Amino acid sequence: MSTIKTPIRIIEANSAAIEAALKAVNGRAEAHAYTAFGEIEILAETAEARLEALGLPKTRRTGALWTETSGSAVSSSYAKKAFGRAATRVRLQRRPSGWYLVGTVATTIGASGGGKGELILSAEQDAEAVRRLRAGYSVKAAS
């Protein structure tokens, strides 16, 4: 993953900088690649919603990562011939003031496709999420 020299906060005011960073790795690829600020903004919103669903308070979200590859699965007939689609993989990082674009790379997707995001938590964030989940239920004693 290519690290962006200066992470870019994902806000409307930085849309041109985000689109320029995407263009720099995509070249001419557009059809299945991330090219627009709005696409990255949606990823940040999705990642934030996942942290919210885990019950992590905003003060404990700093440092979480979200990685996602654009596009969807390539037809298996293409995959058998080793054809792939040009796509973009991005990495976002949660900081105290919000989500930042911190990495981009051009990639190729095949039959497994893209469009699947991954939330990466620190060990402390994981422990807090598990603690909050377990606080929401009890375990019946063995009979």
Closest Cα to residue 69, out of 52, 83, 85?
A: 85
For residue 104, the enclosing domain spans: 2-127
**Does a structural domain hold residue 132?**
no
Q: Residue 110: its pLDDT value, please?
A: 73
Question: How many residues are present in the chain?
Answer: 143
- Beta strands 65-69 and 85-95: pairing type? antiparallel
From the list 72, 1, 3, the residue with the least C-alpha distance to 31 is: 72
User: Is residue 71 a part of any domain in this protein?
Assistant: yes
Q: What is the pTM of this model?
A: 0.86
Predicted pLDDT at 5:
84
Query: How far does the chain reach from its first CA to its final CA, in angstroms?
Result: 52
**What's the total number of domains in the chain?**
1
Looking at the domain assignment, is residue 31 inside a domain? yes
> What local confidence, expressed as pLDDT, does residue 116 receive?
84
Instruction: Classify residue 8: in a domain, yes or no.
Output: yes
Please check whether residue 134 lies inside any domain of the structure: no
Tell whether 136 is covered by a domain.
no
**140 in a structural domain:** no
User: Is 92 a domain residue?
Assistant: yes
pLDDT in tens, the chain (143 residues): 667 789 999 999 999 999 999 999 888 877 778 999 999 999 999 999 999 999 999 999 999 999 999 877 666 665 555 566 778 999 999 999 999 999 999 888 776 777 789 999 999 999 999 999 999 898 899 87
